Amino acid sequence: MLELKDFEEAKKRVDEVIIPTPLIYSPAFSKECRNVVYIKPENLQRTGAFKIRGAYNKIMKMDDESKSRGLI
């Protein structure tokens, strides 16, 4: 089971490579939902998606032997 320390360690790893993305208020979605809606534009990441966080974290947790076999 994951613990808080696991998330804290993952955050430290991915903070080295991710671009901080702002929350952007969306008037259109706010009006549609009748609520206050903010969008997190993860498309601004180098990869164009949020997936860099999980993929980078997984790769950095691999041992050298696993890395030497290659990644697909």
pLDDT in tens, 7-28: 999 999 989 888 888 999 999 9
Q: Are 67 and 32 within 8 A, CB to CB?
A: no
Q: What is the pLDDT of residue 20?
A: 87
Q: What is the pLDDT of residue 32?
A: 96
Q: What is the pLDDT of residue 69?
A: 81
pLDDT in tens, 32-62: 999 999 999 988 887 777 778 888 888 888 8
What does the chain come to in residues? 72
**Closest listed residue to residue 14, CA positions, set 68, 72, 66, 58:** 58
